[in-house]
Structure 1
Amino acid sequence: MPTTVRAFGAHDVRQPLVPLTIERRDVGPHDVRLDILYCGICHSDMNYVGGAFGPLPASPLVPGHEIVGRVTETGSAVTRHRVGDLVGIGCMVNSCRRCENCRAGQEQYCLGGRTLVFGSPDPAEPGAHTQGGYSEAVVAPEDFVVRVPDGLDPAAAAPLLCAGITVYAPLRRYGAAPGSRVAIVGLGGLGHLGVKMARAMGAEVTVLSRSDRKRDDAEALGADHYAVTGDGSAFADLANTFDIVLSTVSAPISLKDHLGMLRLHGTLVSVGVTTQPMPLDVFPLLQNGRAYAGSLFGGIAETQEMLDFAAAHGVSADIELIAAQDINTAYERILASDVRHRFVIDGATFGGQSPDPSGLPRAAARGRR
């Protein structure tokens, strides 16, 4: 029989998230069930709930796609995971598995339509939609569940399942390595992990920000340089400098100015989601043989590779741990840029329990790195 779990979700766009109960399906032969320990809050969650992507795909809708949990049940045919394993689920929980992109390990670009962890028609339950990680437990196919390596703080690892792979995949794809120069546009949830990942890959890293406000933060994260772009002078000063410019901001940027910062055969990559158009002039592309690319999150094998890399290099998110009852306040603080750098929900609090089994006061969880 399906299992009822407690969750937080929205009944309509631009409405507060509220406590809910939802049903999780039975564990099939190739499924695993996990109790959710932690779930990160991503700006894309807010875009769904806030209406930026249109009406809710399902009502109610439970967001959340940066999930870390413990396996509590496995299907009869499962071979990848065992009860007790610490695992993660990111942005998707299925794909067609047959198309060219899926066969290439790029399930995020599935031509048949990937199944997102929330808000997608659920192939395992005709007529139902998937529900995400703002909940006590989840059931998913074993092939879309990854191992969280020893050595990673489970709470600080949760944002790696979206933000981490979103910056890791293009940095790897476009050649971040010793001797390369990488610029990170923005220093939020994505940007701070972009700095950490690029540094761990051996690149020389510059943070580009519109003001001087985050200079000390960038230095603490390991950035080699910091440049203020608000007055436009940095675009001239740093022209023809970088191999990769990674834009992590959820707002339009001047493509012409940022393309001009690329050296020979450099690439500007957008990973921040904005629904506003950005005009593109082809001439800056022709100069220096530059390229402009977009990148979604990553495939399942890439995500596992990223987690293993993060564990080996000590990379995790800077987080503030919150109770589920504080989700709406967290959304407001994200909009006000009042977080360094990612909120993570303690899964023990979906039913109103004490959020920290150690008994430490909540303030002890702030600023975990």
Structure 2
Amino acid sequence: MTTKAYGATAADKPVAALDIDRRAPGANDVQIDIAYCGVCHSDLHTVRSEWPGTLYPCVPGHEIVGRVTAVGSDVSGFKVGDTVGVGCLVGSCQHCASCDEGLEQYCTNGFVGTYNGRTADAPGHTLGGYSQRIVVDKKFVLHIRHPQEQLAAVAPLLCAGITTYSPLRHWGAGPGKKIGVVGIGGLGHMGIKLAHAMGAHVVAFTTSESKREEARKLGADEVVISKDPAQMKAHAGSFDFILNTVAASHNLDAFTTLLKRDGTLCLVGVPEHAHPSPAVFNLIFGRKAIAGSLIGGIAETQEMLDFCAEHGIVADIEMIDAQGIEAAYERMLKSDVKYRFVIDTATM
């Protein structure tokens, strides 16, 4: 089935209109007409081959919201007309220890990404959500329960939302816990909203004084300017957990010193260049940990979507036309968005 899409044919080519083919729905498939697709930094890194292994043509997009238009004969739980989402995963082995535990993102045999993942479908790799339509195995389709008027702002939850929700849940954010969120961008603004809704005491870290009021509006109880040594020192040894969303190389010691005994600094941003090696002293004298977290499994992503629907949480977005993707990429590089671009697929 020929479908209109936006993608690139080479690393040095701009994202532009393409025609792609989607498979006919099989017995276990759900066909979705895409209404909105969020724009993630991963899209930019992949389409421009800033990360290794990009396959072309590359159609990015893994923050997908749309409506079911067909279901396979063996599909239950979804019907034509349902509002659904698709996140970063469209396949995994389904039989390793991680998959058995509903942690498909850690599939021992490698998950299949929503774009740039190996597949039997032409052209041999998956093509993502910058398109009018997608066909996905039922196991990787999610129910969206937000009202119609919020659907565009729901799209970024499928990546930015679950990327922050999963570590907050895993490390027990909630009442009585002091939680830090480093960086107030696409990921960080979701981390603040979610930690606040979970009932934690939330402290936002930013290098910019101008973001103080924004962070409070998002749900931060306190805001610390991380460039100010006095403000940082005032919080030494007081955090249960710090979620670090910054994707630029920086000194992690500034944050490990803020952790309580047994506290964890969790990284979810991947810098282009490695962070400076952290001081081991800070970790040993306090049994502290530096950890990482990758998106979330399908069950947890559904849990996150339901939690957000219950608490009225969506991303702060700016809607763009498909023709404006390249301009949006350039603005993303300058952090000139509050806080996530979303493509209106009707403009294709």
TM range (shorter): over 0.9
**TM-score of the superposed pair, with normalisation by structure 2:** 0.97
- CA displacement, residues 132-154 of structure 1 (integer Å, 9 cap, x when unaligned): 00000000100000000143711
1:209-358 aligned at under 5 Å gives the runs 209-278=206-275, 279-350=277-348
Structure 1: distance between partners of 2:215 and 2:251: 22
- For 1:62, the equivalent position in structure 2 comes to 59
1:15, 1:49 within 8 Å by CA — same for their partners in 2?
A: no
Structure 2: distance between partners of 1:247 and 1:221: 17
- For 1:18, the equivalent position in structure 2 comes to 16
SS in structure 2 at match of 1:288: coil
Structure 1 position 275, deviation (Å): 3.1
SS in structure 1 at match of 2:33: strand
SS in structure 2 at match of 1:213: helix
Structure 1 position 323, deviation (Å): 0.6
Q: 1:146 aligns with which of 128, 142, 146?
A: 142
- For 2:42, the equivalent position in structure 1 comes to 44
Letter aligned with residue 75 of structure 1: G
Contiguous gaps of at least 5 residues in structure 1: 351-369
Q: After alignment, is 285-294 or 318-327 more displaced?
A: 285-294
Structure 2: distance between partners of 1:80 and 1:298: 21
Q: After alignment, is 276-285 or 218-227 more displaced?
A: 276-285
Structure 1: distance between partners of 2:183 and 2:146: 30
- For 2:30, the equivalent position in structure 1 comes to 32
Matched, 1:200 2:162: no
Letter aligned with residue 142 of structure 2: V
Structure 2: distance between partners of 1:211 and 1:246: 18
Task: List, as ranges, runs of 4+ consecutive aligned residues in structure 1 with deviation greater than 6 Å.
Answer: none
Structure 1 position 109, deviation (Å): 0.5
Letter aligned with residue 91 of structure 1: C
Structure 1 position 55, deviation (Å): 4.9
- For 1:356, the equivalent position in structure 2 comes to none
Structure 1 position 60, deviation (Å): 1.0
- For 2:113, the equivalent position in structure 1 comes to 116
Q: After alignment, is 127-136 or 291-300 more displaced?
A: 127-136
1:319, 1:343 within 8 Å by CA — same for their partners in 2?
A: yes
Structure 2: distance between partners of 1:103 and 1:55: 28
Letter aligned with residue 17 of structure 2: P
SS in structure 2 at match of 1:149: coil
Q: 2:128 aligns with which of 127, 132, 141?
A: 132
2:179, 2:202 within 8 Å by CA — same for their partners in 1?
A: yes
- CA displacement, residues 1-20 of structure 1 (integer Å, 9 cap, x when unaligned): xx001111011124310110
SS in structure 1 at match of 2:50: coil
Q: 1:292 to 1:200 in 2, by over 3 A?
A: same
Kindly report the root-mean-square deviation, in angstroms, between the aligned alpha carbons of the 2 structures. 1.2
SS in structure 2 at match of 1:250: coil
Structure 1 position 230, deviation (Å): 1.7
Structure 1 position 252, deviation (Å): 1.7
Letter aligned with residue 255 of structure 1: L
Letter aligned with residue 148 of structure 1: I
Matched, 1:160 2:118: no
Structure 1 position 104, deviation (Å): 0.8
Matched, 1:84 2:81: yes
1:195, 1:223 within 8 Å by CA — same for their partners in 2?
A: yes
2:34, 2:64 within 8 Å by CA — same for their partners in 1?
A: yes
- The share of aligned pairs that are identical, in percent, is 49
Q: 1:13 to 1:55 in 2, by over 3 A?
A: farther
Structure 2: distance between partners of 1:38 and 1:287: 48
SS in structure 2 at match of 1:258: helix
Structure 1 position 321, deviation (Å): 0.8
